[in-house]
Amino acid sequence: MLCEKCGKNEATIRYSEIVNGKKTEMALCGECAAAMGLGTDGGFGLGDLFGAGTLFSNIFGAIPDARPQYGASHIEKRCPVCGASMSEIAKRGKVGCAECYRTFKSELAPSIRRIHGDVKYVGDAPAKSEAENQLLEKKQKLESLRRELREAIEKEDFERAAEIRDNIRKIDS
Amino acid sequence: MSWYAETGNKCDVVLSSRVRLARSIEGFPMGERLSDEQARELCDRAGDALRGFDRIDFDKLDPVTAAAYAEEHLVSAEFASSKSPRALYKSDAEGDYIMVCEEDHFRIQSITRGYSVSDAYERAKRAEAPIASAFPVAFDNDLGYLTHCPTNLGTAMRASVMMFLPALTRRGSIPSLSRQLSRLGLTVRGMYGEGSEAVCCIYQISNQVTLGISEEETVSKLCEAVDFIIDQERKCRLDTVSRDPESAADACARAYGTLTHARMISCREFMEKFVDVRLAASLRGSLDAGIPESVTLESLDTSLIECQPAVLTLLSGGGEMTPRDRDIRRASLLRGRLGGASDN
Ligand SMILES: [Zn+2]
Ligand SMILES: [Zn+2]
């Protein structure tokens, strides 16, 4: 595919821009991308991710709440764990802690989409700790016993119900 | 034993396989926001979880030893040169290297010799287990593992293979290979810094994409590409040799002569000659360059690591050395390791 700007070179970079909610996409060659202030390697420089590059800052500015827009009187939202604000995260291109991803979920979403595309996580979930595993196992066991208890009572099998109730007490203690 | 001194699968083209997992811990700030006390706490608590690992505190390590770890590709260059509290937990026998307080709180890395990405992945998962049970690892159902830099979100995994591609490099095939790989979400990088690949022909091929693709898929996608590249490189080598066996043998024999007879050799010249000698050592059946059987891929790859400046300085006792001192020492080391005609 040829570069949509100069029409001469092979396009190596796909660039998308969101202005006022309208998305435009362009395929660019390395030269044109560089001339537009984008990384020539086609990747995102760390500072560029959240708005240091000229075009990226335009995109970023088009997203509400991405930066404080009301001057000094505006009180910035801060992460409760690390104290980072969205403008500090944008400047570094990196979050201050894991909680930042939850605190600034909507503000970070467009940048994350721009890096990774519109995809959701697929893969392993973290291994649970020993204690968490035991707790989970106990919870599942209790749930299934309670279900059995309800069934026994419905069937008026009170002997069985008493047995299950004793089992529940044993596990729950 | 160090990874480069072992024998392995398809070492004629693949030097090593590695898998790196990045993990952050809930409640701890990251990067510059992490205080020295919090960093030390993470390092210490990691030690309680990681039994059987050796701990090396990099903030207390002399710069030459730290740089040598980076030259052996056991830690990143950033980790080796940073000043803040950080520790490496290593198990040389298992090939597991866990950096604590690198860019992410934990970078769990498993290195295997030759082509064995699945094995490296299994080992990395095993090394991760004690961390995951001792710490609340930061995870989100939509974003996966939460990393300091958003580019690593998802599996936060980097699977890579270090490849020796002299034939494809000389044929000029690397740029187009690189373009094809990037379409598959993979990247190619020179192993010894920007522009070095043309000299030593060693590349790292790794996954770029981490979100929306599972760990197993990442491994199988990488391996599919690597299988293809191995095949192409081998064909291209045989093609070159069969077209002009005398010239090929001559180049390799001359390179071997330089490595085993020079009295001073720079790192760059060593790497240039290394390419032809390693090529000859992996083509013994089809190319006779008169290189002794004792010169194996393992001894060559060991010399590749030992000839790097910091490792070489350490091997010479760790005292201060000028580049000239190193060139002399490098030449004598090579005569000892590779020479049949050595007088040293
Ligand atoms: Zn163009
Ligand atoms: Zn935070």
CB atoms within 10 A of CB B268: 12
Amino acid, res. B67: A
Whole-angstrom distance, CA of residue B167 vs CA of residue B275: 10
Q: What is the pLDDT of residues A87-122, one digit of tens each?
A: 999 999 999 999 999 999 999 999 999 999 988 999
Residue in chain A closest to B128 (alpha carbons) equals A127
pLDDT of residue B95: 92
Q: Which residues of B are less than 8 Å from A102 in CB distance? A: 140
Q: What DSSP string describes B298-315?
A: HHHHHHHHHTSHHHHHHH
Nearest to A112 among B133, B153, B214 (CB): B153
Helix or strand run (H / E) with residue A23: strand A22-28
What's the full length of chain B, in residues?
344
Of B211, B216, B221, nearest in space to B144 by CA: B211
> A117: distance to nearest CA of chain B, Å?
9
B314: which 2 tokens?
């350490």
Question: Residues B200, B193: contact at Cβ < 8 Å?
Answer: no
Q: What is the pLDDT of residues A6-42, one digit of tens each?
A: 877 777 666 665 544 455 677 777 777 766 655 433 3
Question: What pLDDT tens digit does each residue of chain B (344 aa) get?
Answer: 677 778 889 999 999 999 999 999 999 999 999 999 999 999 999 999 998 999 999 999 999 999 999 999 999 999 999 889 999 999 988 899 999 999 999 999 999 999 999 999 999 999 999 999 999 999 999 999 999 999 999 999 999 999 999 999 999 999 999 999 999 999 998 876 556 666 789 999 999 999 999 999 999 999 999 999 999 999 999 999 999 999 999 999 999 999 999 999 999 999 999 999 999 999 988 898 999 999 999 999 999 999 999 999 999 998 999 999 999 999 999 999 998 644 43
ipTM: 0.88
pLDDT of residue B21: 97
Reply yes or no on whether the pLDDT at A58 is more than 60: no
Whole-angstrom distance, CA of residue B11 vs CA of residue B233: 12
Confidence of residue A54 (pLDDT cuts 50, 70, 90): very low
Helix (H, G, I), strand (E, B) or coil at A22: strand
Of A146, A141, A60, A49, nearest in space to A93 by CA: A49
Nearest to B33 among A46, A82, A129 (CB): A82
Q: Give the Å distances, CA to CA, from B154 to B32, B35, B214.
A: 23, 26, 9
- Interface-testing mutation among A97, A106, A112, A118, with chain B (most B C-beta atoms within 10 A): A97
What spacing in Å lies between the alpha carbon of A115 and ligand 1's midpoint?
A: 22
Q: Which residues of B are less than 8 Å from A119 in CB distance? A: 211-212
Whole-angstrom distance, CA of residue A133 vs CA of residue A127: 9
DSSP E strand boundaries for chain B: 14-23, 54-57, 87-91, 96-100, 106-113, 139-140, 144-145, 157-164, 186-190, 202-207
What spacing in Å lies between the alpha carbon of A44 and ligand 1's midpoint?
A: 18
pLDDT of residue B108: 97
Q: Which residues of B are less than 8 Å from A47 in CB distance? A: none
What spacing in Å lies between the alpha carbon of A56 and ligand 1's midpoint?
A: 19
Reply yes or no on whether the pLDDT at A72 is more than 60: no
What spacing in Å lies between the alpha carbon of B55 and ligand 1's midpoint?
A: 51
B166 shares contact with chain A (CB less than 8 Å): no
Q: Taking an 8 Å Cβ-Cβ cutoff, which residues of chain A contact chain B?
A: 12, 42, 44, 46, 49, 81-84, 92-99, 101-102, 108, 111-112, 115-117, 119-130
- CB pairs A-B closer than 8 Å: 105
Nearest to A97 among B29, B150, B211 (CB): B29
What spacing in Å lies between the alpha carbon of B178 and ligand 1's midpoint?
A: 20
> B76: distance to nearest CA of chain A, Å?
18
Q: CB within 5 A of ion ligand 2: which residues? A: A 79, 81-82, 84, 96-97, 99-100
B213 shares contact with chain A (CB less than 8 Å): yes
Question: Residues B313, B267: contact at Cβ < 8 Å?
Answer: no
Output DSSP code: residue A85. Answer: B
Q: What DSSP string describes B77-113?
A: HHHHH--SS-EEEEETTTTEEEEESSSSSEEEEEEEE
Nearest to B133 among A84, A120, A130 (CB): A130
Whole-angstrom distance, CA of residue B30 vs CA of residue B316: 38
- Among all chains, which residue has been given the structure tokens 């000859």? B280
- Both ends of chain B: CA-CA distance in Å? 26
A4: which 2 tokens?
């949509």
B144: which 2 tokens?
């996966």
pLDDT of residue A38: 58
Nearest to A111 among B26, B148, B150 (CB): B150
Please identify among residues 20-49 of chain B the ones whose CB lies closer than 8 Å to any CB of chain A. 24-31, 33
> B336: distance to nearest CA of chain A, Å?
42
